[in-house]
Structure 1
Amino acid sequence: MELEFRLKKNQTIDKGLQEEINKEKTHWREVLLRIFSLVTTLAKQNLAFRGTNEKLGQINNGNFLSFIESFGDFDPVMREHIRRVKGGEIHYHYLSHTIQDELIVMLGSEVKSMIIKKIQEAKYFLVILDCTLDKSHKEQMSLIIRCVDVSMAKTQVEEFFVTFLEVADKSGEGLFELLCSTLVGLNLSIDDVRGQGYDNGSNMKGKHKGVQKRLLDINSRAFYTPCGCHSLNLALSDMAKSSSKAIAFFGIIQRIYCLFSSSSNRWELFKQMVGGLTLKSLSETRWESRVESVRAIRFQAPKIRDALDYLAENCDDPGARSDAEALTTSKTHGIGGFEFLFGMVIWYDLLFAVNAVSKIMQSEHIDIDNAIVQLKGLVSFLKNYRETGFEKAKAEAKIIAESMDIEPDFSRIIKRKKHFDEAVERDDESEMLSEEEKFKIDYFLRIVDQAIVSLQIRFEQFEEYEKTFGFLFDLHKLKSATDDSLKAKCINLESSLKHGANSDIDGYHLYLEIKILRNVLPSEIKKAVEVLDFLRRFEGHGYPNTWIAYRVMLTIPISAASAERSFPS
């Protein structure tokens, strides 16, 4: 009875020892809590952990140990821990690189488990893949999964980075097998894939042996979506390659940048004489970013010409001096000609328009309906620019030319090439084609027509999806659609979401549900994701087909830019 009493009152003979044990437990819990917090912060900010050594109190011991030392200046728990480590009182201090790596893996595994749980709850998901070389020149692939997250209080369309994968076989078959094995390892069913988004590489998008074809063979509901931003890049690339004059134009832009950037003295001269917008190098992969390269010259051409003149007269480097003189005086290979200024205005207008649409399409929450509106607007702009842009660009180029004392016209007259089947008695005057007309036909019209054609071809897939899901995106059209039209679209959607004998929805029941739903939807609901929030009130009951249709629709992306952004810069 006395022992029982002492145990209840903590009055046993080893009371002092137990207090010391509990005190030590509390100390280590507090130490580990701070170490976990520091590891989380460094990982979240993408900061390096280690330096050239792993000892407290020494220079270059890395961010992790430096912050531990900083904690010790203010926090009594870490101050005591550091004292024990430095005094050799303890052997296990939990500050080594092994522990750091173990904690990173533990935290990463926990985050990944939470992400996979969200994806499993969402059921339907889309995979986004992109590949690049890492620092060790090994091909790595980023896996992004997009789904409708219904685990939060408010429904959200999320794109989760899942993992990096080392690629041994870059063929369509090799990438597809790697994707399948990864999904199996993550406990995700490939039958639940409702979309796939890649760049325009043949091993990814190939219609015969690419990843998209192999996935569609086993799951026809895995809708393929080309990356909208990458397609815009390729459209711009098509435009630039369609004309030799355009190729020469961008060559001049890059030569100007290289001339000033290759020397710190010349770069300083540029800042002193030009200031304002700095020169930018041309990017081979992000064509829409070239608007920044053109902008610096478009709005500072007179000052840049003055800086080039100064280099041509005063530069000590003979090569740079010759380049500067050629760039400032040549009418065909420099900024001294009206043709270059004319092309500069045209390209800036086109690049600015494409860049604006590209930025919108990189938004995480843009949907197919809005993307198509943006693309149609861009095509409409290009068609209008084709009719009126030449004269407007010519007027702007003349203003710039006059400020630079450049003759604002095309002086030479050339003979138009006669085709073999043309009449011999053709009037000689009609055979004469001015330089301005030739510039318009061979340069302006060629690149604008190429832009229109490329955009229409590359975005045909979005129009197909709009035909399939468009009636669900636009709630105004949904409410105003006739019963026959609505029924036909619901049946068509059932067919699109069918694989074998199974379909995600029943088209006729979807039609009946929407007929009721469109009459009870509150007027303040304007977006598709808000419809899901409304349906969640009924927990999927009453509108099960509508609930599934909207979730599948919102998994389809416009851009695969999130995969590219996942790579370290």
Structure 2
Amino acid sequence: MANSCGKAKDFFGTVQRIYSLFANSTKRWLILKENIKGLTLKSLSTTRWESRVASVKAIQSQPLQIKKALLQLAESDNDLVTRSAAKSLAAYDIGNFEFLLGMTIWYDILAAVNEVSKDLQSKDMLIDVAIEQVQGLIAYFEKYRETGFTEAMINAKKLAIEMEIDPVFPEQKSVKFVEKDILMRMKRRFEEYQAYDDIFGFLFTSERLNSMDNNKLKDSCDRLQNFLKKDELFDVDGDALLVELKLLRERLPKEIKTSIDILNYLKRMRCFPTASVAYRILLTIPITVASAERSFSKLKLLKSYLRSTMLQERLNGLALISIESDFLDKIDYEVLIDDFAAKNARRAIFK
């Protein structure tokens, strides 16, 4: 999104220049802290998903204070390059109505994306919920393209008057890039989720399972069997799944709604093997790559320069302990230690 057009690149380049100017010196950072009372400036990052919205929010919430800090820096610093950069940023960038308008638009867009992104990264996110989230985000962007630019102009003009900036936009701009790039990406993601919905959708909730007649249920079971089939082998038998789901619909308690609840119920019953396999496959489909990226982040912390001679078995064990730390907190270490000591104790018989 941030690389969708030249104006966007220029805007985020200015955001990074403002941060770098203050962050490169403790004295400059102190001047910044003296002028702002809210969020401090944040740097852009290519790996952190929230970095751009955090960077924009820090400026969007206090542009007048940051402009004052730039002007103070330009007056107090002895370095000619720093003085020139601070004056330029205060007068031609953050003091420009086009920058204020871009800041308003980008904060609206990134804030909406960030909320959905954080939900999709949760460990217990389900595909049906992800589909609803992405569909809602698409609807938001479509509406924003129709009315968002006008509302952003109004808010930017109010901010410009407060900062004593002439609220004149030299050329009427549009936000077609929002539809062309952002909407295209969101719709592509929605199509990917929709493909899973066509195959696994009848298993998402007990409500959807109960709403299908026998013919539609059979078609869904056959479609799932064909999807999970390779050569002459298949993971799920469609006919067996149909029989089990018909029986399951009659026995399933009303309080059980989601696919996770249904799978836990199947584990307790121990009499629906094919349905259990189908639900396990459904719940192991990754919604995002967030879990994999968290694992690699843990690996980077474990495999440091001081541990360069660590063998693979030890690294795997430490990585598993670190990744599954929540589960590890529930384990009684004393019992494990006693059990380990009992198995490895050397006993000698003296006569």
Give the 5 Å matches for 1:113-262: 236=1, 240-262=2-24
Is the counterpart of residue 484 in structure 1 residue 243 in structure 2?
Answer: no
Is the counterpart of residue 556 in structure 1 residue 315 in structure 2?
Answer: no
Supply the distance in 2 between the matched residues of 1:475 and 1:378 (Cα, whole angstroms). 26
Is the counterpart of residue 520 in structure 1 residue 257 in structure 2?
Answer: no
Is the counterpart of residue 318 in structure 1 residue 47 in structure 2?
Answer: no
Of 167, 180, 196, the match for 1:465: 196
- Structure 1 pair 274/448, CA: closer, same or farther in 2 (3 Å)? farther
Give the 5 Å matches for 1:387-466: 387-410=146-169, 412=170, 435-436=171-172, 439-440=173-174, 444-466=175-197
How far the C-alpha of 1:287 sits from its partner, in A, is 4.3
Supply the distance in 1 between the matched residues of 2:186 and 2:178 (Cα, whole angstroms). 12
Question: Would the aligned equivalents of 1:473 and 1:528 in 2 still touch at CA under 8 Å?
Answer: yes
Of 267, 271, 295, the match for 1:536: 267
Supply the distance in 1 between the matched residues of 2:157 and 2:246 (Cα, whole angstroms). 60
Is the counterpart of residue 505 in structure 1 residue 236 in structure 2?
Answer: yes
Question: Would the aligned equivalents of 1:288 and 1:354 in 2 still touch at CA under 8 Å?
Answer: no
Supply the distance in 1 between the matched residues of 2:269 and 2:44 (Cα, whole angstroms). 54
- Structure 1 pair 448/317, CA: closer, same or farther in 2 (3 Å)? farther
Partner of residue 47, structure 2: 285
SS of aligned partner of 2:94: coil
How far the C-alpha of 1:275 sits from its partner, in A, is 2.7
Supply the distance in 2 between the matched residues of 1:466 and 1:556 (Cα, whole angstroms). 12
Partner of residue 305, structure 1: 67
SS of aligned partner of 2:246: helix
Q: Write out the 4+ residue segments of structure 1 that deviate beyond 6 Å after TM superposition.
A: none
Letter in 2 for 1:560: V
Question: Would the aligned equivalents of 1:243 and 1:447 in 2 still touch at CA under 8 Å?
Answer: no
Supply the distance in 2 between the matched residues of 1:341 and 1:559 (Cα, whole angstroms). 33
Is the counterpart of residue 373 in structure 1 residue 135 in structure 2?
Answer: no
Partner of residue 25, structure 1: none
Supply the distance in 2 between the matched residues of 1:245 and 1:286 (Cα, whole angstroms). 22
Supply the distance in 2 between the matched residues of 1:449 and 1:482 (Cα, whole angstroms). 40
Supply the distance in 2 between the matched residues of 1:278 and 1:402 (Cα, whole angstroms). 24
Of 275, 288, 291, the match for 1:546: 275
How far the C-alpha of 1:400 sits from its partner, in A, is 0.9
How far the C-alpha of 1:499 sits from its partner, in A, is 1.6
How far the C-alpha of 1:458 sits from its partner, in A, is 4.0
Letter in 2 for 1:314: S
Question: Would the aligned equivalents of 2:135 and 2:190 in 1 still touch at CA under 8 Å?
Answer: no
Question: Can you list the C-alpha shifts for 1:19-58, whole angstroms capped at 9, x where unaligned?
Answer: xxxxxxxxxxxxxxxxxxxxxxxxxxxxxxxxxxxxxxxx
Supply the distance in 1 between the matched residues of 2:96 and 2:264 (Cα, whole angstroms). 60
TM (norm. structure 2) is 0.82
Structure 2: runs of 5+ lacking an equivalent: 302-351
Greater relative contact order (Cα < 8 A, sep 6+): 1
How far the C-alpha of 1:448 sits from its partner, in A, is 3.9
- Structure 1 pair 287/560, CA: closer, same or farther in 2 (3 Å)? closer
Question: Can you list the C-alpha shifts for 1:430-471, whole angstroms capped at 9, x where unaligned?
Answer: xxxxx12xx11xxx2213431000122244322211111111
- Structure 1 pair 364/287, CA: closer, same or farther in 2 (3 Å)? closer
TM (norm. structure 1) is 0.51
Supply the distance in 1 between the matched residues of 2:37 and 2:151 (Cα, whole angstroms). 28
Q: Which has the higher helix share?
A: 2
Counting matched residue pairs gives 298
SS of aligned partner of 1:241: coil
Partner of residue 227, structure 2: 496
Structure 1: runs of 5+ lacking an equivalent: 1-235, 413-434
- Structure 1 pair 372/262, CA: closer, same or farther in 2 (3 Å)? same
Letter in 2 for 1:538: M
Of 240, 259, 274, the match for 2:36: 274
Supply the distance in 1 between the matched residues of 2:267 and 2:75 (Cα, whole angstroms). 73
Partner of residue 565, structure 1: 294
SS of aligned partner of 2:42: coil
Question: Would the aligned equivalents of 2:31 and 2:72 in 1 still touch at CA under 8 Å?
Answer: no
Supply the distance in 2 between the matched residues of 1:463 and 1:286 (Cα, whole angstroms). 27
Letter in 2 for 1:510: L
How far the C-alpha of 1:361 sits from its partner, in A, is 1.0
Question: Can you list the C-alpha shifts for 1:494-522, whole angstroms capped at 9, x where unaligned?
Answer: 11111221212221221222122112211
SS of aligned partner of 1:537: helix
Give the 5 Å matches for 1:338-349: 338-349=97-108
CA RMSD of aligned residues (A): 1.4
Supply the distance in 2 between the matched residues of 1:495 and 1:368 (Cα, whole angstroms). 20
SS of aligned partner of 2:269: coil
Bigger CA drift: 507-516 or 521-530?
A: 507-516
Supply the distance in 1 between the matched residues of 2:249 and 2:268 (Cα, whole angstroms). 16
Supply the distance in 2 between the matched residues of 1:537 and 1:300 (Cα, whole angstroms). 56
Supply the distance in 1 between the matched residues of 2:78 and 2:26 (Cα, whole angstroms). 14
Partner of residue 358, structure 1: 117
How far the C-alpha of 1:285 sits from its partner, in A, is 2.7
Supply the distance in 1 between the matched residues of 2:269 and 2:88 (Cα, whole angstroms). 73
Supply the distance in 2 between the matched residues of 1:315 and 1:505 (Cα, whole angstroms). 71
Letter in 2 for 1:389: G
Question: Would the aligned equivalents of 1:274 and 1:304 in 2 still touch at CA under 8 Å?
Answer: yes
Letter in 1 for 2:19: Y
Supply the distance in 2 between the matched residues of 1:496 and 1:391 (Cα, whole angstroms). 47
Supply the distance in 1 between the matched residues of 2:76 and 2:27 (Cα, whole angstroms). 12
Letter in 2 for 1:359: K
Supply the distance in 1 between the matched residues of 2:268 and 2:187 (Cα, whole angstroms). 41
